[in-house]
Chain A
Amino acid sequence: SQELEQSPQSLIVQEGKNLTINCTSSKTLYGLYWYKQKYGEGLIFLMMLQKGGEEKSHEKITAKLDEKKQQSSLHITASQPSHAGIYLCGADLGPSGTYKYIFGTGTRLKVLA
């Protein structure tokens, strides 16, 4: 069973529009990460969140982690075609690098010019 659920599964937006992707776990997470990827290519690390209530921003992307550390959102402001790709959340299920690390179900984003 997938322990990290992402929504929506896919998203098509017009260039310039804002969008939000969610990542939800039934368990408390020790670290939550966001990546961007194209199938068959490596992962591009976007952001890491570790504290409940934490929020980080980079350029037009903002990621938040809720207080319970079970849900995260990734928000893109004024989307551009360059934002298109697969967005994955990933999470540490334990307090160190030796614990299992899993990925969310993925969100495929397409931005129409």
Chain B
Amino acid sequence: GAVVSQHPSWVICKSGTSVKIECRSLDFQATTMFWYRQFPKQSLMLMATSNEGSKATYEQGVEKDKFLINHASLTLSTLTVTSAHPEDSSFYICSPRDRSSYGYTFGSGTRLTVV
């Protein structure tokens, strides 16, 4: 159980464009979705938490208008990096949860490079 699919695994985009990252829970319903970001030589930092059907809660310092999170269904959440800039280049990982799942359901991550 607890199969998570995250796409794309890597993406290169031009500065100023938007990029959408998808995260799907394939065999369970994710009532909560966590999105993390990791810069080189740093740990994973929680960006935002979203519950299905409601707006995401963003951590301090994370721009909600830049990182749009949609959690419209119990099996799919998307993170859109709008007007991406080179400083947004990072590794993004999703973590879908249901009420009983614990900390080992993660996507395989998306490496974003903005040129």
Contacts and interface: CB of A to CB of B under 8 A. Distances in A.
Asked if chains A and B come from one complex, the reply is yes
Interface of A: 6, 31, 33, 39-43, 45, 48, 88, 90-92, 96-98, 100-106, 108
Contacts of B91: 39-40
Contacts of A91: 103
Contacts of A102: 46
Given A103-B44, A106-B43, A90 B103 contact: yes
B77 interface: no
Interface in B100-114: 100-104, 106-109, 111
Given A42-B109, A43-B93, A108-B41, A98 B103 contact: no
Contacts, number: 67
25 contacts: A6-B43, A31-B103, A39-B38, A39-B91, A40-B91, A40-B111, A41-B109, A43-B93, A45-B104, A48-B102, A90-B44, A90-B103, A92-B102, A92-B103, A96-B100, A97-B31, A97-B98, A97-B99, A97-B102, A98-B31, A100-B46, A100-B49, A101-B46, A103-B44, A108-B41
Contacts of B38: 39
Contact of A101 (B34, B42, B51, B100): B34
B4 to A, nearest CB: 10
Interface in B62-115: 91, 93, 95, 97-104, 106-109, 111
Given A88-B43, A103-B36, 16 more contacts: A41-B109, A42-B107, A43-B93, A48-B102, A48-B104, A90-B103, A98-B97, A98-B99, A100-B34, A100-B46, A100-B49, A101-B34, A101-B103, A102-B46, A103-B43, A108-B41
A1 B4 CA distance: 29
Contacts of B1: none
B60 to A, nearest CB: 9
A92 B43 CA distance: 16
Interface string B46-65: 10010100000000000000
A52 to B, nearest CB: 17
A22 B45 CA distance: 19
